[in-house]
Amino acid sequence: MNKSIKIFAPATVANLSCGFDVLGCCLDTVGDEMIISLTSNPEVKITKIDGANLPLETHKNVAGVAVEALLKAYKKEIGVTIEIYKKIKAGSGIGSSAASSAGAVWAVNYLLDSPFSSQELIAFAMEGEKLASGNAHADNVAPALLGGFTLVRSYKPLDVIKLNTPKDLMITVIHPQIEVKTSDSRSVIKHNVSLQQAIQQWGNVGGLVAGLFTEDYELIGRSLEDVIIEPLRSILIPEFTAVKEAALSSGALGCGISGSGPSIFALSKGDKTATLVADAIRNVYSKTGLKFDIHISKINNDGIKIIEV
Amino acid sequence: MNKSIKIFAPATVANLSCGFDVLGCCLDTVGDEMIISLTSNPEVKITKIDGANLPLETHKNVAGVAVEALLKAYKKEIGVTIEIYKKIKAGSGIGSSAASSAGAVWAVNYLLDSPFSSQELIAFAMEGEKLASGNAHADNVAPALLGGFTLVRSYKPLDVIKLNTPKDLMITVIHPQIEVKTSDSRSVIKHNVSLQQAIQQWGNVGGLVAGLFTEDYELIGRSLEDVIIEPLRSILIPEFTAVKEAALSSGALGCGISGSGPSIFALSKGDKTATLVADAIRNVYSKTGLKFDIHISKINNDGIKIIEV
């Protein structure tokens, strides 16, 4: 049994336009680092957080809560210490809390010689998400844990499916460093939708899943359409329309809001196009006076990675 | 150029539970026969209809209207005669009108040496559907023309995707010979749905498409769930709940309403299970005193077939 492990806990993009609350994918070049150790002292301790002002108290920290959910199911007395080197900015909309929750439970499971399945780890990590946002959603923790593209088919019971990842698929993400309150990004969403729009949306979900399996990049692009949430939420993101137009006219397959925003993602075929897309959206945002980060990444088909055992 | 062709125009099952208005699949053992001939007299004539009381006037017949839409696009002066040997009962909910529309345009296109693509043929056949139901839907004509499982990703523009067909997938269909008025089956549907249910539905659409591509029969079964339309429409179908329970307890992967009903379909893995399912639902329906047909079929991955050239 290894006593300590250093891991890379990746950022993730949830929703992917049409797949509100069900689809997500995993990034490769953006993520936190975490050092997780087993101890004989039967408690969970956050011993260090670097790069972010987050609570060290276990029950207030998403990684702490997620690991406690795991240990409750494990039943044997064991202690865990967690160091978090935060590189994903909180509130960016690319799964900052999910990286911590998913990374922590993945590492503990590894150190315990994998008593739990991926589906079980997703459920534990969702407890962290519940702490972070009040809602135990899986659309970021699932791609962080499974890698690639994931579909949350059902929550009751939890049923998460790993989809196929076309090998040339690249993602470009812009994170405008503004704060969008979760309450605002929720309150713009309506509780009811027209059946007509719902049908369009599930047509696109079907198309996107089919496009991923058949590696039909054009179909993936055509399916990256959100007729329900994006028209409402995009008003909270400065220059969303200009960024989307710039991305599409630079060759992106599709472009939309990452999670609940404010980050915006674009999928492209090949790194050349992904870089052109990054240049084009940088050009839009550099005129705004707002601070922003831009990431280019291939889709990380592995999810969490071991840096050092 | 062949002057005359005899074809098999298959029955189809639309919606497939979660995929209301977008998914459909093609049957192999149930379908009409049609004889289509080119003539030099530039008009479309329905010369014979056997097995059903349907209009012979071209503009009132779905096959006639569909072929006229094709010829309008073809632009050259040509005539067509159509004989229809109807085996799919009208109003059964397994694509009776779609078989005629799709069969007619497929055959004319074949005789003209294929000037039109499948997507174009779907659009012509949809004109027949518009005549039949007032709504130019594609979820029956698409599987009839393409075979296998199809997804109508979008209507504007029309974008139909052929999905994968797992080789052991079988379908059992019961057609209770009752009349459900189209106006009734429409009026029970609500124009708005809750976002929560819409999310469940598109999670299932994603799961079903993924299950078809990965040939994961269990996933296909779990995804055959309709939380929006079935609870409303099933009240129009006698013993729907008993049939569904009988099908599932006999090993069916899933069971739901075929199209707008009254037929009920069940998918199974293997013909042994499909036969057990047929026996179980026959047992339910034979107690009702209602007339009914039961069909067992593999999924027809080819669509329309040539009987004789």
Q: Which domains does chain B have, with CATH numbers?
A: 4-163+301-308 (3.30.230.10), 169-298 (3.30.70.890)
Looking at CA atoms only, how far is residue A272 from chain B in angstroms? Answer: 28
- Cβ-Cβ pairs closer than 8 A, A with B, add up to 132
Mapping DSSP onto H, E and C, the string for B82-141 reads: EEEECCCCCCCCCCHHHHHHHHHHHHHHHHCCCCCCHHHHHHHHHHHHHHHHCCCCCCCH
Q: Give me the pLDDT at residue B182, please.
A: 76
Question: How do residues A222-275 score in pLDDT, each as one tens digit?
Answer: 999 999 999 999 999 999 999 999 999 999 999 999 999 999 999 999 999 999
Give yes or no: B230 in active site.
no
Q: How far apart are CA B260 and CA B137, in angstroms?
A: 12
Contacts of B152 in chain A (CB under 8 A): 203
Q: How far apart are CA B284 and CA B291, in angstroms?
A: 12
Contacts of B164 in chain A (CB under 8 A): 213
Give yes or no: A182 in active site.
yes
B258 neighbors B13 (Cβ within 8 angstroms): yes
**Mean pLDDT, residues A125-130 taken together:** 96
Residues 6+ apart with CB under 8 A from B214: A213
Q: Is a pLDDT exceeding 70 seen at residue A125?
A: yes
A129 neighbors A140 (Cβ within 8 angstroms): yes
Q: Give me the pLDDT at residue B2, please.
A: 52
Q: Which of A144, A29, A6 is CA-nearest to residue A83?
A: A6
**Mean pLDDT, residues A137-150 taken together:** 97
Which residue in the list B129, B165, B172, B239 is annotated as catalytic?
B129
Q: Give me the pLDDT at residue B280, please.
A: 98
Q: At what angle do helices B96-111 and B118-133 cross, to 10 degrees?
A: 140
Q: How far apart are CA A198 and CA A160, in angstroms?
A: 21
* pLDDT more than 70, % of chain A: 99
Q: How far apart are CA A122 and CA A158, in angstroms?
A: 9
Q: How far apart are CA B269 and CA B273, in angstroms?
A: 7
Q: Give me the pLDDT at residue B66, please.
A: 98
- Beta strands A292-298 and A192-194, pairing class: unpaired
| Side chain identity, residue B188 | V
Q: Which helix (H) or strand (E) holds A37?
A: strand A23-39
CA dihedral (A96, A102, A104, A106) in degrees, to 10, reads: -150
Q: How far apart are CA A103 and CA A128, in angstroms?
A: 11
How much is the ipTM here? 0.96
- Distances, alpha carbon A223 to alpha carbons A201, A202, A203, A256, B196, in Å: 9, 10, 8, 11, 21
B101 neighbors B66 (Cβ within 8 angstroms): yes
Q: Which of A184, A186, A91 is CA-nearest to residue A135?
A: A186
- DSSP assignment of A166-197: -TTEEEEEEEE-----HHHHHHTS-SEEEHHH
Q: Which of A150, A161, A255, A219 is CA-nearest to residue B151?
A: A219
Binning pLDDT at 50, 70 and 90, where does residue A134 land?
Answer: confident
Nearest to B194 among A19, A192, A214 (CB): A192
B75 neighbors B109 (Cβ within 8 angstroms): no
Residue of A163, A209, A218 for testing the chain B interface, max B β-carbons within 10 Å = A209
Q: At what angle do helices B271-285 and B240-249 cross, to 10 degrees?
A: 150
A267, with CB counted inside 10 A (0-12, 13-18, 19+), is buried
Measured between CA atoms, the residue of chain B closest to residue A21 is B199
B23, with CB counted inside 10 A (0-12, 13-18, 19+), is buried
Looking at CA atoms only, how far is residue A217 from chain B in angstroms? Answer: 13
Mean pLDDT, contiguous 10-residue spans, chain B (309 residues): 87 98 97 96 95 94 97 94 96 95 98 96 97 92 98 96 98 95 86 97 98 98 98 96 98 97 97 98 97 98 96
Per the structure block, which two tokens stand in for A140? Answer: 């970021």
Write out the E strands in chain B.
4-14, 23-39, 44-50, 79-85, 149-155, 158-162, 169-176, 192-194, 254-257, 264-269, 292-298, 305-308
Q: How far apart are CA A88 and CA A33, in angstroms?
A: 10
- How many CB atoms are located within 10 Å of the residue A167 CB? 9
Contacts of B25 in chain A (CB under 8 A): none
**Range B182-185 contact pairs with CB under 8 angstroms and sequence separation of 24 or more:** B182/B133, B182/B134, B182/B260, B184/B236, B185/B233, B185/B236, B185/B260, B185/B261
Q: How far apart are CA A267 and CA A16, in angstroms?
A: 9
Helices (H) and strands (E) in chain B, counts: 10, 12
- DSSP assignment of A201-240: HHHHHHHHHHHHHHT-HHHHHHH---SSSHHHHGGGSTTH
Per the structure block, which two tokens stand in for B228? Answer: 């929006």
Q: Give me the pLDDT at residue A64, please.
A: 97
Residue of B135, B199, B200, B224 for testing the chain A interface, max A β-carbons within 10 Å = B199
Q: Is a pLDDT exceeding 70 seen at residue A108?
A: yes
* Mean of all residue pLDDT scores within chain A: 96
Nearest to A151 among B161, B164, B203 (CB): B203
Q: How far apart are CA A132 and CA A126, in angstroms?
A: 10
A135, with CB counted inside 10 A (0-12, 13-18, 19+), is exposed
Q: How far apart are CA B65 and CA A28, in angstroms?
A: 54
- How many CB atoms are located within 10 Å of the residue A10 CB? 31
DSSP single-letter state for residue A71 = H
Q: Give me the pLDDT at residue A181, please.
A: 81
Q: Which residues pair with A49 in a beta bridge?
A: A84
A27, with CB counted inside 10 A (0-12, 13-18, 19+), is buried
Looking at CA atoms only, how far is residue B164 from chain A in angstroms? Answer: 9
Contacts of A203 in chain B (CB under 8 A): 21-22, 151-154
Q: Which helix (H) or strand (E) holds A79?
A: strand A79-85
Residue of A18, A153, A200 for testing the chain B interface, max B β-carbons within 10 Å = A153
Per the structure block, which two tokens stand in for A97? Answer: 């809390």
Q: How far apart are CA A11 and CA B286, in angstroms?
A: 58
B182 neighbors B133 (Cβ within 8 angstroms): yes
Q: How far apart are CA B262 and CA B253, in angstroms?
A: 20
Residues 6+ apart with CB under 8 A from A275: A172, A296
Q: How far apart are CA A289 and CA A284, in angstroms?
A: 10
Looking at CA atoms only, how far is residue B23 from chain A in angstroms? Answer: 8
Measured between CA atoms, the residue of chain B closest to residue A22 is B203
Looking at CA atoms only, how far is residue A201 from chain B in angstroms? Answer: 7
Contacts of B207 in chain A (CB under 8 A): 151, 153-154, 159, 161
Contacts of A260 in chain B (CB under 8 A): none
